[in-house]
Structure 1
Amino acid sequence: MSNMAGAAGNTQITYTVTFPEAQAHYIDVEMHIKGLKQQATEIKMPVWAPGSYLVREFAKNVEGFVAEGNGSMLYAVKTSKNTWRVSTAGVKDLTVRYRVYAFEISVRTSFVDASHAFLSNSGVFMYPKGMLNEPSTVKIIPYKGWTKVSTGLDAVGNDPFVLKAPNYDILFDSPIEVGTQDTFDFIVDGVKYEMAMYGSGTYNKDRLTKDLTKLIKAQTSLFGENPNKRYTFIVHHFLKGGGGLEHLNSTVLGASRDAYSTEKGYQGFLELASHEHFHLWNVKRLRPIALGPFDYENENYTTNLWIAEGFTAYFEYKTIRQASLYPESTFITTLTGDINTNENQPGGKIQSVAESSFDAWIKYYRPNENSANSTISYYGKGSLIGYLLDLEIINSSNAQYSLDDVMRYMYNEYYKSLKRGYTDAEFKLGLEKFAGKKLDNFYRDYINGVTVINHDKYLGYAGYKLIDELAGSNTPALGVATSNTNNRFLVTTVSRNTSAWVGGINVNDELVAIDGTPVTDMTTILNGKKPGDKIDVTINRDGLEMILPIVLLKSNKTRYKIEPVDNPSKKQLSVRQKWLAL
């Protein structure tokens, strides 16, 4: 260990990035380290991208690693999946060259072709061990025809193709778009916003500028400040696009190029932009204590992604409402959709939202055919926790406070004053401060437990009630989802405790017939049947036909809607007004 120490602090690190074979999806990287004093230098590639909690093994895309110093090739050996050890005895200046294959379209992975390059930096730039706090400079030599760079990194001088990062946390948190993207700027309360739009799209620049300005103002008002001097939206347009990834002063959004043409599609884009922009406070600054400084080689565990992502999902549409970008009816409809999704997922009775957060690394990003039966999303369930606590605080404080006040207080206390992340217990104390009561039972039931949410209690604070439109039905259900391939109905999911689950139907079974009648339409296969009936289901399993006797059970699906109560009290109306920004 001693021969690796003392290297940081006197080094200069520069990168040169070229794209000689952009059409073949390659990024060529040359890394130069000046001022070394050690016998050996370990060069490492991160294994994950902060904000996306999965070990993605970025080193799998690396080719042709070589090292050079003093005019000669140096001995370099790979010592682990993401580490190369270079002999640097007597070498002050080290040059490392390698290539990165980049052909995965997502907001968290790099992609290069002849039209543009998107660099998701934790999967592109290696770092010397022990030097994560060192500054670096990145020089980009664009592919033919590329004229623009869009990123949260600052340029060196007046050259937009030469960028600087004060440390690796900033470098890895600042994706880079290079190409001919359509860019336009606007200023919100002194902060410069850049929209970098890759690919054609039906977006209206004036409408986006107007609406995003309103949204940014609403979110800034919630926290009391915008900590950035500038912010970059990098938007990738494809036939079918989606997803977003937050960064300190930028975000990357995936969008469908024609989605802006419909109100539903435009609203979807606005919600995505709202979610990722809200993250510049919640997660990137106000954060669980485990999420920074980052360990780029291993999982960074927290039980609080229900706050980091779930609360952001809730404020995604709450702040749109506060910005008057859609009516309160749309807010209620969106909340209703969240409730229906959560309550109809059997895994919500198995996995708590705290467990969901902790296990994101092995479960959320790696779903299988049984995930709906065994897991719950910290996004969706966390969003519901957000609305419950919002109404609890508003009601308990007689409409003086809301969850907004908690977020602003925690931001000021932990990010600005203490300059660190919060623990689970500290966030609970912050909630209790504004609720004016202990939340032990709430945490026991809804965060660390799997108790069914009492929505009527919390909605009742604002003069609403939850109605299950299917409560009086007596409809049987098989309990499967299928795909239709050439009129062959293959089972893709079997829901827990349904007729199919109990009767032994498996995923990948082909449904051939019901009581001898061929299956041609899944919507009519149980016509005339009722709960308690026995049916014979003919299936094809691995090429073998068999008949399974099945007892039909009542459908366990719910379909909720939120309605106002009759004759709401004065307090209920005051809670409603505060909650819905009426």
Structure 2
Amino acid sequence: MRKSLIVITCILFFMSLKSEAKTEPNIVFEVSFTEPQAHYADVKMEINNLSGNELILKMPVWAPGSYLVREFPKNVEAFYAKAGAEALASEKITKNAWKVNVRGKKSITVNYRVYCFEISVRTSFVDESHAFLSPTGIFMYPDGGINQASIVRIIPAKNWKKVSTGLDSYGDQAFTYYAPNFDWLFDSPIEVGNQDIFEFTAAGVMHEVAMVGGGNYDKAQLKIDMARVVERETAVFGENPNKRYVFIVHNYKTGGGGLEHLNSTVLGASRDGYKDRETYQSFLALVAHEYFHLWNVKRLRPMALGPFNYDAENYTTNLWIAEGFTAYYDNLITQRAGIYTPNEWLNIIESDINAVENRLGNKTQSLSEASFDAWIKAYRPNENSANTTVSYYNKGSLIACLLDLAIINASDAKLSLDDAMRFAYNEYYKKKNRGYSDAEFKAILEKYTKQNLDDFYKRYINGTEDLPFAKYLNYAGFQLMVQDADQQKPYLGISLSKDNDSQIATVSRNTAAWIAGLNVNDEIIAINGERVSNALDYVNGLKELKELDFLINRDGILKSIKVQLKPSASKKYSIRQIENPTEKQKAVLEKWLSL
């Protein structure tokens, strides 16, 4: 694509986010469900005012906010095109593109079916009870026509009576909606069925909550608690960019995860977990996480994340900001809303410190590398991932925590990370209508921390050094306690398969098992000539470090491997308040916890 065209596309993309003017669309979709029990959505696409002899239609291969090429076109079948009753020749020309021989026709209709049977917040699912349409895997767009408006008409299956979506209604027709462009359509999930819907108003915005799958939730309490989260997050940025917002909540026996959208989100939850305090708190933290993305990612964003290339990966080294900072704020906001106590929130930070510092991959992969390689590593973990990767979620959250404390301390408790985020939002989304570069976001952090962050970035963002928790926690009157593992307690360094207590699932780097050469998928038959059903139970029962003789089955061949046990290299980190904090430390703590 030519540079001038990229610039024009970028301008049109962001103009479309702020524009509410409805143009008469040339594209009309109709989605119906003739065989919901077989998990199909039937799509009809009417395209008008065409010119030329060929039309290329594309389907995205990934969903923004979920950084993995998921190859959505793999679920498409029965593609055909016609003009009136006349069939038009068509062919698939790439993995996600179809060419139609229009032959000068001004209007054509394209039909295709999509198989929808993957349960997640980013993939479509249809059965006899409901349909969830994740738009990037449902709707096609004309190549080069991403800015075209469209109408979407939903034809619910028999006995389905409701549709929930962030799209605006169009005209007086039931279940008919308008998308000003395909970026907006692809960012507007659709729930169809008999979901339980309730509403609340917060920050001047009407919020719809569509609960799917039942559950023991208390609607009255959810309205109160979700409104508190919304109000607290809106206060960070000083404005709420929506007039209406939709939560689509899928309740399962066990569920979790979420995906943010421009004026909606999709959440996974445990159907019967709402009465359990910790599970309920975690759900509200998930609400806070996805809602915070309204600003951080959907509007304030790295340059690479919009306008999107829907054909391939969109690389950025800044997911530690986009997701990590959001992960910091989800728990912080939940604490500000009174859902977590300050001590519970500190325990979460403590837990993140232990998770990051004891992950071997933390010494191998930097935060910027973790962000860039999300497309091939974060969403495709294997048996060696713990040795080679770090999460940009919890480590990015810890970086946000340190920078927040640095800003509060440098400003004598007058400012916080909130002020830096608000400034960035106003500067790059509202004023410049574009994303930020690495250098530009770093400059904002330097402005508010009042320090040059070259060394900080070199060591902790682009490097793999231990994060300086002790220094930054001390600003708020805390100290970090570090306790080594018991040096006499034997540690093998493996995990076992969930389905087979005799089979090795992972081997941790530089542990006894790693050094001796035990492998993933080895079946442990005996230790020191004794038949064992669970090697970890055996080793944990030992009182001293010793050499063991493992008899294993590796691909049908019996092997004897000697393993010299070692102690674990892991550490236990805990946060403790210091005695006699200074007045400044007290002020920093108050600002940090009680904004």
Compute the TM-score of the two structures, normalised by the length of structure 1: 0.96
Give the counterpart letter for 1:205 in structure 2: K
- Deviation track 1:383-407 (CA, whole Å, cap 9, x = no partner) reads 1111111111111222121111111
- Deviation track 1:184-236 (CA, whole Å, cap 9, x = no partner) reads 00111320000000011010001100111111110000110101001000000
Matches of 2:233 and 2:542, distance apart in 1: 53
Matched, 1:332 2:353: no
Matches of 1:123 and 1:380, distance apart in 2: 29
Residues 130, 160 of structure 2: 8 Å contact kept: yes
- 1:394 maps to which residue? 408
Matched, 1:568 2:556: no
Matched, 1:239 2:253: yes
Residues 514, 525 of structure 1: 8 Å contact kept: no
Q: Please list, as runs of the form range in 1=range in 2, the aligned pairs for 1:66-465 lying within 5 A after superposition.
A: 66-465=80-479
Matches of 2:485 and 2:383, distance apart in 1: 28
Q: Please list, as runs of the form range in 1=range in 2, the aligned pairs for 1:497-536 lying within 5 A after superposition.
A: 497-521=510-534, 522-531=536-545, 533-536=546-549
Give the counterpart letter for 1:517 in structure 2: E
Residues 11, 35 of structure 1: 8 Å contact kept: no
Find the partner of 1:548 among 561, 564, 582: 561
Matches of 2:488 and 2:337, distance apart in 1: 43
Give the counterpart letter for 2:466 in structure 1: V
Matched, 1:491 2:509: no
- Deviation track 1:366-395 (CA, whole Å, cap 9, x = no partner) reads 110001100111111111111111111111
Matches of 2:356 and 2:269, distance apart in 1: 25
Q: Which runs of 4+ in 1 moved over 4 A?
A: 8-11
Partner-residue secondary structure (3-state), 2:119:
coil
C-alpha displacement at 1:444, in angstroms?
0.5
Matches of 1:177 and 1:506, distance apart in 2: 45
**Structure 1 residues 141, 485: closer, same or farther in 2, change over 3 A?**
closer
What count of residue pairs does the alignment treat as equivalent?
575
Matches of 1:189 and 1:59, distance apart in 2: 39
Partner-residue secondary structure (3-state), 1:63:
strand
Q: Identify unmatched segments of 5+ residues in structure 1.
A: none
C-alpha displacement at 1:571, in angstroms?
1.5
Partner-residue secondary structure (3-state), 2:285:
helix
Matches of 1:282 and 1:491, distance apart in 2: 40
C-alpha displacement at 1:70, in angstroms?
4.9
**Structure 1 residues 10, 119: closer, same or farther in 2, change over 3 A?**
closer
Residues 11, 33 of structure 1: 8 Å contact kept: no
Q: Please list, as runs of the form range in 1=range in 2, the aligned pairs for 1:52-63 lying within 5 A after superposition.
A: 52-63=66-77
- 1:42 maps to which residue? 56
C-alpha displacement at 1:471, in angstroms?
4.8
- 2:20 maps to which residue? none
C-alpha displacement at 1:547, in angstroms?
1.4
Give the counterpart letter for 2:212 in structure 1: Y
Partner-residue secondary structure (3-state), 2:502:
strand
Q: Which moved more, 1:545-554 or 1:376-385?
A: 545-554
Matches of 1:75 and 1:10, distance apart in 2: 28
Give the counterpart letter for 1:163 in structure 2: Y
Matches of 1:183 and 1:10, distance apart in 2: 31
Give the counterpart letter for 1:385 in structure 2: I
Residues 70, 91 of structure 1: 8 Å contact kept: no
C-alpha displacement at 1:120, in angstroms?
0.2
Give the counterpart letter for 1:480 in structure 2: I
Partner-residue secondary structure (3-state), 1:206:
helix
C-alpha displacement at 1:437, in angstroms?
1.0
Matches of 1:32 and 1:365, distance apart in 2: 35
- Deviation track 1:511-553 (CA, whole Å, cap 9, x = no partner) reads 222222332342342434434x322122221122221111222
Matches of 2:542 and 2:182, distance apart in 1: 65
Q: Which moved more, 1:204-213 or 1:395-404?
A: 395-404
Partner-residue secondary structure (3-state), 1:325:
coil
Partner-residue secondary structure (3-state), 1:477:
coil
Compute the TM-score of the two structures, normalised by the length of structure 2: 0.94
Partner-residue secondary structure (3-state), 2:497:
strand
Matches of 1:283 and 1:225, distance apart in 2: 16
- Deviation track 1:23-57 (CA, whole Å, cap 9, x = no partner) reads 10000000010000112000111100000011111
- 2:16 maps to which residue? none
Residues 16, 140 of structure 1: 8 Å contact kept: yes
Matches of 2:281 and 2:215, distance apart in 1: 15
C-alpha displacement at 1:573, in angstroms?
1.3
Partner-residue secondary structure (3-state), 2:262:
coil
Matches of 2:72 and 2:294, distance apart in 1: 25
- Deviation track 1:417-474 (CA, whole Å, cap 9, x = no partner) reads 1010000100000101111111111100110000111211111111111223445643
Matches of 1:201 and 1:344, distance apart in 2: 36
Residues 149, 160 of structure 1: 8 Å contact kept: no
C-alpha displacement at 1:484, in angstroms?
5.5
Give the counterpart letter for 2:88 in structure 1: L
Give the counterpart letter for 2:223 in structure 1: T
C-alpha displacement at 1:557, in angstroms?
1.7
- 1:581 maps to which residue? 594
Matched, 1:477 2:491: yes
Matches of 2:537 and 2:419, distance apart in 1: 48
Residues 474, 555 of structure 1: 8 Å contact kept: no
C-alpha displacement at 1:89, in angstroms?
2.4
C-alpha displacement at 1:298, in angstroms?
1.0
Matches of 1:322 and 1:526, distance apart in 2: 42
Matches of 1:512 and 1:561, distance apart in 2: 39
- 2:18 maps to which residue? none
Give the counterpart letter for 2:347 in structure 1: T
Matches of 2:519 and 2:321, distance apart in 1: 36
Give the counterpart letter for 2:560 in structure 1: I
Q: Which moved more, 1:522-531 or 1:422-431?
A: 522-531
Matches of 2:39 and 2:503, distance apart in 1: 36
Residues 491, 539 of structure 2: 8 Å contact kept: no
C-alpha displacement at 1:321, in angstroms?
1.3
Residues 10, 35 of structure 1: 8 Å contact kept: no
Matches of 2:65 and 2:469, distance apart in 1: 30
